[in-house]
A and B are shown apart, each in its own frame.
Chain A
Amino acid sequence: MSTPTPDRETAIETHERRAEALRSGLLRTTLALGVGFMLLPLVIVVVYSFSSVAYGVFPPPGLSWRWYAHLFEQTAFRGAFVRSVVIASVAVVISLGVGLLCALALVRSDFRGKEALRGFLLSPIVIPKIVLGVGWFIFFARLGMQGGVVPITLAHVIVVLPFVINVLAANLVGLDASLEEAAQDLGASSGKVLWHIVLPQIRSGLVISALLAFIVSFDQVESSIFLTRGENNTLPIEMFLYMEKWQDPTIAALSALLILFAAVMVGIAVVASRGSEWRRMLPR
């Protein structure tokens, strides 16, 4: 290889700089397109919730509030929303309690078959939900537990538990065990150590796992569709069944409200976990 002359060197540098500018431009465009692609369905849902007509034509010929008015006449959606919130909240509380104890055992003690047990506890994540759904349908039917919210809530606990265990275990791994051991050496009971030492340190993990569990529970369709029989539909199932019959923007109005609901939930979670970060830094 011959040594490049100064002239050629500048030429190569200019070429490189141009190529880099082109690459950057392309990559930024890709990123913008990616974000646009991800947000597009949500944006269009909000736009259509204000459409003046029932059919899907772009752009909508006019704007109106009629689909929101129609939505509030549908009492089934309201009942289903409340039911979904209650089911998700109870499932979150149970799975946080059970999951925390379980994560503690997985992180803080060593025993034979621990990895196999962890794999088993996390396995509901990869099992197709429809298979679990039919399983629960047959199981609860055999027990004579049909209808109501109890079977759905129990099913949701199993669906969300692996997510909770996963997040909390990851949080607990990062903790310094010697702090807990010092408290134990000074005579604190396991319960006190858990409450005063462990919990305050994993507050953001608790918030994140609660939020994740709530969202996952709130989104269950095929795992729960056989456990509902009309009078106890959850919200996504009510919407799913409505969409199988009609496709007017009533669903868009409801979806727009759900998008708002999700945004508020995330806002609360951000504030809550920030708050805990601040509190940790402040002296007591």
Chain B
Amino acid sequence: MRLTGRTTLWLLAPALVLMAVLYVIPLGVYLINGFHEFRDGRILSVWTLRTYAAYFTDPFSYRVIGTSLRLSLVVTLLAIVIGYPVAYALHTRVKGAAAKTAIALLLFSPLLVSVVVRTYGWLILLAGQGLVNTTLRALGVISEPISLLFNMRGVVISLTHILLPFAIFPIYSVMGRLDPSLKEAARDLGAGWRDTFLHVTLPLTMPGVVAGALICFTLALSAFVTPQLLGGGRVQVLPLAVYNSTVEINWPGGAVAGLSLLIISMAAVRALNALLRRLPTA
């Protein structure tokens, strides 16, 4: 359809109005609170940098940021390390488009169910007498039940499960776009499976890996339900800090914590996007 400049503006107008009123203004109103101060249980509407100063001199802030970064990093690595071979197996070892689609649907189906439901599933699985502990004991791997709930372990396992499809999908789709003749050429030149994989497939699928890492890292960084329900108060990450500050009506403190979460996640997006642009594409 040919659109005139005026029509284009009319088409964009509803979205722009909604985004301005319900996105830009609320974010602005929220972040402005960081320049106010919370004292004696109420918010003082004075303009000050004291909330920022207090936040960045408090060692607890750095502990929370550290926990957030560590959790996101570990979970992203796990999702990629597990997701890559799964995507590769789906791409190379399943014959027929229908079978591929069916297995891909099975892998992504948990996304259709609320994250609260999935987290509840892990709550049952990781319990002291749950399936995981019972199986590990039956196999003789452990003699006593290990505690997998209400600490970092449970959060890592559950979050890896939640993010795995977001790692598999971009890697799988890049593999699908790979020119099969490249692999054949490598084989014809005498390269074995290992050399073909290490020098052709892996480098050319790195864009998928980085794209997957980007999604996983940002989602892990902003995860709230899983650390809250499975962390048992021992996994203090940035979204929980924002939540707790807000519950305590400490909007200024919450705004500063929220801004650091926002900045870290934007920085991660920018860094990984820059990396993505520098990678060779097939």
Chain A residues within CB distance 8 Å of chain B: 16, 19-20, 23-24, 27-28, 30-31, 34-35, 37-42, 44-45, 48, 55-58, 97-99, 101-102, 104-105, 108-109, 111, 117, 120-121, 124, 126-132, 134-139, 142, 154-155, 157-158, 161, 165, 177, 180-181, 184, 190, 193-194, 198, 215, 218-219, 221-222, 225-226, 235-236, 239-240, 243-244, 247, 251-252, 255, 258-259, 262-263, 265-266
Contact = CB atoms under 8 A, between A and B. Distances in A.
Contacts of A243: 116, 119-120, 123, 229
Given A30-B85, A45-B124, A131-B262, A262 B113 contact: yes
B106 A138 contact: no
A132 B27 contact: yes
Contacts of A108: 1-3
Interface stretch (B12-20, B175-183, B205-213): B12-20
Contacts of B90: 31
Nearest to B225: A221
B203 interface: no
Contact of A126 (B125, B192, B218): B218
B93 A128 contact: no
B117 A30 contact: no
16 contacts: A16-B192, A27-B88, A31-B89, A34-B164, A40-B131, A41-B125, A42-B110, A44-B124, A105-B12, A128-B262, A130-B261, A138-B251, A180-B1, A184-B1, A190-B1, A239-B116
Main secondary structure of the interface of A (DSSP, over half): helix
Contacts of B2: 108, 180-181, 184
B85 A129 contact: no
Contact of B193 (A20, A35, A218): A20
A202 B56 CA distance: 50
Given A30-B86, A41-B110, A99 B15 contact: yes
Contact of B18 (A111, A139, A161, A198): A161
Interface residues of B, number: 83
B1 to A, nearest CB: 4
Interface of B: 1-3, 5, 7-8, 11-12, 14-15, 18-19, 22-23, 25-27, 29-31, 33, 82-83, 85-86, 88-90, 92-94, 103, 106-107, 109-125, 127, 129-131, 134, 161, 164-165, 168, 192-193, 218, 221-222, 224-225, 228-229, 238-239, 242-243, 246, 251, 254-255, 258, 261-262, 265-266, 269
B210 to A, nearest CB: 15
A223 to B, nearest CB: 9
Contacts of A265: 112
Contact of B113 (A137, A138, A225, A255): A255
A135 B30 contact: yes
B113 A58 contact: no
Given A42-B118, A45-B121, A130 B239 contact: yes
Contacts of A24: 93
